Structure 1
Amino acid sequence: MSILSRAPFLYALCISLSSPVIANTDNEFDDLDALLNMPLESLADTKVVTATKTSLSLSDVPASVHVITSKEIERSSARSIADVLILAPGLHVTKFSDYDWTVSARSKNQGENNTLLVMIDGRSAVNPMYSGVNWDTLPVSLDSIDRIEVVLGPVGTMWGGNAVNGVVNIITKDAESAPKAQLSASTGNFDYKEFKAHHSGQISENTHLSGYIESLQHSPFTDTDKHFEDLRHLKVLTERFGMRADYQNLQNTVSVQFGGIQSREDYQWLTYTPAFLEPATHKNDYDIFFTEMNSQELFTGFQYLHEKLDGDQWENQVWVTHSESDSTNEPASFTRIDLDTRYTFNTQDWGILTVGANARIIDEEYAQFSEKEQYFSPYVRTIDDHKFLNQSYGLYANWAVDVTDSTEITLGNRIQYANITEEWYSQPQVRALQKLTDNQRLWMGWGRAVITPSRLELDSTFQQNGYQSKYLSIKNPDNTTTYYDYFEIIKSHGNRNLKLESIDTYEIGYRYWQDNQFQLSMSLFYSQHDNVRGYKALNPIYHPILPEASEGSSGTIINEYTSQLIDPLSQETMGGEISAQWKPIDVLQVNANYSYKTIKGDCTGSICGSSDLPVLELENTPSHYATLHIMWDLHPSVWVSSVVNYVSASEPDEALITEYKKRGYGDEHIIWPEIITLDMSVNWQHKPTWPSIKLSAENLGSDQLKEYPEQFGPFANGTQYYAELSWNFI
């Protein structure tokens, strides 16, 4: 049964749940007023789990942690997880098209970003095939999110590989807190349409059940360049669904989840038809056609928590995920099993000790292409061993103990084994927290984390093709011209001899809060990243001239340019983050954050002997990031919100600019552009029993803005408008 065929059944099951809660119309405005004017939660009252896997007050976590609440998500105008993350300090969020984002923490932003671990309820959302995140196909609904916890810096001790520069943990609402009988519909420009249905209810004394379905359609790009006129009909269609059951009785809590996502993207594709393969039937160099790129994911999870009366806890998680994609860049499927068990000893004399073990088993399977098929596509990724059982096992411990009444020390380490490299990895940390006063904290720490090796970088080859008949011409002595077909192949090979990437980070931070009106967090960091990857050009291969060719050509010339991934680079990254939340009056909340980072690269080995370009490319990144979020309740029935996001332009070294100018490129080819965007929303709801209407605009004043250098070939992002009608029937 497919995701689409399941969805109506799931919705019918969810909507049938009964709920005894009926709105009291006499107090409708009082209830709505109380909801809108909720006070800013104090740092001491905010509970977070991502940094330590135990529930702690945010004020007492010895790490840089930021929480994005469900209210802030609703008031942000964002329609995707990636867009929401601009609200957190330390993250660089860039939009490539209307469904592609990249997000980085304390590092250079790039498509295959493997230094940021992204999770949903503690389940990894990182694609194990290439250690990156497909942000547009995360199987989670914005309306189901309770909060997003962002931890900057290394969290490898607790979470393992890829938790090196940060962790984003998307924590969903339990079934009791999920939306009840909620329907919503949205529409906007660029063919945006979205429909959502959520419901939850109590099915027994101790059990709640919730579920949702969503359908989203939009254009794959908002670039209005005239070159895309013939592609305006293309669409991206995404469907999500999810169910959750929660049972709680005395000290036992059980949660079961099931969900998935399916995405279908229209796109224009071409197939090369080089004459040297079939000269007798050759007519065109390539055939252009429209097709679909499909991906889907299904997951199920079981979580069990036993809380003992003495404060000890025993928690277990089991997740099973199946994912498929037919993209020529990721032509693969995998089934992943994640197991995690941990026990927390909570004693007054010895502090808090957490010990745990985890296992991750991934059955990977890549698509296979014949040698002939590898010439047909503009690009394709291949791998020799197309089936592999990827296994990783870990043991970890984290101990937090009070050495004085005001000083706490945390010691931890994780030992991890990965069969992909047949090596053991250590990820230790040392942290300290000083309670300066009742409302001030000073913390510092050091941690080491590693990047989980992926088969993409170890074993795969990415091949790009280009073909044109009668492309090369040679003038003969008798003034006649000889023509040749030309086929160019660019291959980027992985490397089995790569060393493990590791990052050591030193941090210091300060927190201050004043009741429920103001809170301030600041942090500084220094990171040393070793064995950074880079490509080394190998000797090109010039094939003999083939006699097979198109009509009028004397043969086919095939040139093959190859490179291989190596690890000669290292980088030092320094910077800091500051965030503040202020509620000057009950109906107004202001959130602001600013981040700074600078990268200093180094290079050793033969690739660096004749050129500084690999290092200069590494250092070319924006340094300044800032966000201002204002939420204002004008009236119990009306609220407005605005988000201003700023990213500075990069300032590459003059030598890098000069080199690209020699190649015929302008400054815009390599400079990350300055970004200033404004998003705004206004929401009106006459009474709680009435539907709410939200009008939003994204990217105001920055229409057709590109967020990447031209060398990445980005789309321009247009100003988008949309209206949402949402109604809670209960």
Structure 2
Amino acid sequence: MYKTVILIFGLIVWMLASQAINAEEASDVYALDLEELLDVKVTSVSKKAQSLSDAPAAIFVISNEDIKRSGVTTIPDALRMAPGIDVARIDSNKWAVSSRGFNGRFANKLLVLIDGRNIYTPAFSGVYWEMQDVMMEDIDRIEVIRGPGAALWGANAVNGVINIITKHSADTQGGLVTGGGGTEELGFGSARYGTQLGEDTTGRVYMKGFKRDELISQDQSRSNDDWDKVQGGFRVDSLVTNADAFTVQGDAYHSNFNQKLNYPAFDTPNGIAFVNDKAQAHGANVVGRLQHTFSSTSSYTLQLFYDRYYREDIYIHEVRNTYDIDFQHRFALNGWNDIIWGGGYRYSESETRFDRTPAISFDPQNRGDQYFSAFLQDEISLVDNTLWLTLGSKFEHNDYTGFEYQPTARLMWTPHPSHKAWAAVSRAVRIPSRIDSDMTLRGSIIPAGQSPFPPFPVEATVNGSKSFDSEELLAYEVGYRFTFAKLFSLDVSAFFNEYESLRSFSPG
């Protein structure tokens, strides 16, 4: 009892201190005028730091202050603040997130990164959102690009790019504890501690967890989709020399989630079996990044990461290991060319097992895929401080379709500091995934005697194709930004997307 009282007292003191700090931070934010807020630096459009207002793309930034004031506890819910992003909650532990349409549980035309680590899975070219998490207080900003970003980020950056960027460890020094609970969020909490590890080295560690209740269906029945998760991680940042900065960070998690599923079966009257499934997922990742700065206009970055996850539910048991190396170099040429080039290699191997239901299978059962990439982009200053032309392309080779190219041309015009217009033409592709190429899915069981079928059950299957082509997009975009006063601005964008070779189903 004594320890409980001390703990409650400590939490109250901490909450009061936090309110004072938050009030001070809020006053700092309100002290900024709109022009300063629009001068937020973003890196996702050109892979270099530039003002949001100067970015020739439909980009929106969700700040740490936005997240704090909204009270959201998940990344998908935070993304609801970005215009043009479709976020739908399927059940207590699943979300559908996309940009510019094509939304669904397995949406596959949106590229998502956490601190430069690509988190989409080649299993279906999308994101398991329930498996991706960070400590919300550690998010510095979320940069959201609506429209293709494939010329820099590569395949699957078709309709958008989401880049979740966490804070430098030097900005998270000291201790932090959060917690809460309620009728749906039964309990959640996190703890973080940051410290100085050396003269030019800082680090932090964190731990978070939650337990969320099941939702109630429209017919007032229980959805059996409650879940829990625990996750921990670390980050270390070091200024090795005046020109070299090094970062290493990692996370590990374990989750248990219930789900109510159905699958086709011969031994039921209507050909459908319902099951309350107890599933689990766990995984870990580690990222190392070295940045060397030659000057204010020249630097290179080398990044390596390893990601492993294990996911088990009634349909599939999958273990996936991904190894990735990426290099990029930026330099200025002749005073009016700002060039960025680089290359990368990724190897992703998957081991699958099917022993709980015959509804799905893959051939081959285990597979490893290689991805080679290179990119080149040149930002050309046509008229000083007025007109810029950006030309670039990504070149990739994958084991499904071979060579792919994804060019872009972007024009930025600033006739007046308060008026900025841009236009872009881009090509992007969504390369095939394992389900497109290797999957056999029992789509449905048609009961016996159902006209016009024979007097015995019929199995309808969906089969992948080894000759599956990449889905292609040719996008035309225009945008306009206008800062009317310190308290008002307007950002408008329009687009026309032309798709080819979209995934379709053909009888056979």
TM-score (norm 2): 0.88
Q: Are residues 176 and 486 of structure 1, via their aligned partners in 2, closer, same or farther at CA, if it must alter by over 3 Å?
A: farther
Map residues 151-170 of structure 1 onto 2, 5 A cutoff: 151-170=145-164
- CA-to-aligned-CA distance 1:693-712 (integer Å, 9 cap, x gap): xxxxxxxxxxxxxxxxxxxx
Answer with 523-532 or 172-181: which moved more.
172-181
2:37 counterpart of 1:37: no
Q: What is the one-letter code of the residue matched to 2:87?
A: V
**Distance in structure 2 (CA, Å) of the matches to 1:353 and 1:29:** 41
- Counterpart of 1:335 (choices 321, 327, 332) is 321
Which residue matches 1:262? Answer: 254
Judged with a 3 Å threshold, the aligned counterparts in structure 2 of structure 1 residues 485 and 217 are, in CA distance, closer, same or farther, namely: farther
**Which residue identity is paired with 1:440?**
H
Residue correspondence of structure 1 range 361-376 to structure 2 within 5 A = 361-369=347-355, 374-375=357-358
Which letter does structure 2 place at the counterpart of 1:527?
Answer: N
1:131 aligns with 2:117: no
Given the alignment of the two structures, is residue 395 of structure 1 paired with residue 374 of structure 2, yes or no? Answer: yes
1:351 aligns with 2:351: no
Q: How many residues are paired up?
A: 484
**Mapping for residues 74-473 of structure 1, pairs under 5 Å:** 74-178=68-172, 180-190=174-184, 192-223=186-217, 225-228=219-222, 235-248=226-239, 249-267=241-259, 291-309=277-295, 311-347=297-333, 349-369=335-355, 374-375=357-358, 380-405=359-384, 406-421=386-401, 423-464=402-443
**In the alignment, does 2:51 pair up with 1:71?**
no
Contact residue 200 and residue 210 of structure 1 kept, 8 A: yes
Larger Rg: 1
Unaligned 5+ residue runs, structure 1? Answer: 1-22, 277-284, 474-483, 539-730
How far off is 1:177 after superposition?
Answer: 1.4
Q: Deviations over 1:311-352 (max 9, x none)?
A: 311111101000111124443111001111011002462421
Query: CA RMSD, aligned part only?
Result: 2.9
Q: Could you tell me how far 1:408 is from its partner in structure 2?
A: 0.7
The answer (yes or no) to whether the contact 1:183–1:196 under 8 Å persists in 2 is yes
The answer to whether the 8 Å contact 1:272/1:467 transfers is no
Contact 2:193–2:204, Cα closer than 8 Å, also in 1: yes
Conservation of the 8 A alpha-carbon contact between 2:264 and 2:443 = no
Partners of 1:274 and 1:441 in 2: CA distance: 62
Kept after mapping to 2: 8 A contact 1:98/1:222: no
Measure, in 1, the Cα distance between the counterparts of 2:108 and 2:116. 17
Instruction: Please tell me whether the aligned partners of residues 368 and 386 of structure 1 are also in contact (alpha carbons under 8 angstroms).
Output: no
Change (3 A) 1:274 1:454: closer
Contact residue 139 and residue 297 of structure 1 kept, 8 A: no
Indicate the residue corresponding to 1:49 in structure 2: 43
* Residues 499 and 464 of structure 1: CA distance in aligned 2, closer, same or farther (over 3 Å): closer
> Is 1:509 aligned with 2:479?
yes
The structural deviation recorded for 1:512 is: 2.0
Asked whether the equivalents of residues 264 and 442 of structure 2 are also in contact (C-alpha less than 8 Å), the reply is: no
Residue of structure 2 in register with 1:492 after alignment: 462
The CA deviation string for residues 268-305 of structure 1, in whole angstroms up to 9 with x for no partner, is 578999779xxxxxxxx999875520112210000111
Cα offsets for 1:530-577 (capped at 9, x unmatched): 111122234xxxxxxxxxxxxxxxxxxxxxxxxxxxxxxxxxxxxxxx
The 3-state SS of whatever aligns with 1:71 is helix
Task: Tell whether the 8 Å contact from 2:349 to 2:367 is kept in structure 1 after alignment.
Answer: yes
CA distance in 2, matches of 1:139, 1:245: 19
Q: Cα 1:443–1:189, aligned 2, differ >3 Å: closer, same or farther?
A: same
* TM-fit CA distance, 1:67: 0.5
Structure 1 stretch displaced more, 286-295 or 498-507? 286-295
Q: Which amino acid aligns with 1:194?
A: F
Matched, 1:523 2:493: yes
Q: 1:190 to 1:61 in 2, by over 3 A?
A: closer
CA distance in 2: counterparts of 1:412 and 1:500, whole angstroms? 20
SS in 1 for 2:171: coil
- Seen in structure 2, the aligned counterparts of structure 1 residues 409 and 294 have a Cα distance that, compared at 3 Å, is same
Q: Secondary structure at the match of 1:532?
A: coil
1:272 and 1:495 map into 2 onto residues whose CA distance is: 22
Identity of aligned residues (%): 24
CA gap of 1:368–1:99, structure 2 versus 1, over 3 A, is: closer
The 1:38/1:227 distance shift into structure 2, 3 A limit, reads same
1:246 Cα deviation after fit: 0.4
Partner Cα separation in structure 2 for residue 125 and residue 96 of structure 1: 20
Q: Whole-Å Cα distance in 2 between the matches of residues 262 and 24 of structure 1? A: 32
CA distance in 2, matches of 1:466, 1:187: 43
Counterpart of 1:17 in structure 2 is none
Kindly indicate whether the alpha-carbon contact (under 8 Å) linking 1:445 and 1:508 is maintained by their aligned counterparts in 2.
yes
Hey, what's the Cα distance between the residues in 2 that align with 1:521 and 1:290?
A: 47
1:334–1:35 Cα change, 3 Å: same
Q: Which amino acid aligns with 1:411?
A: L
Contact 1:68 1:149 in 2 (8 A): yes
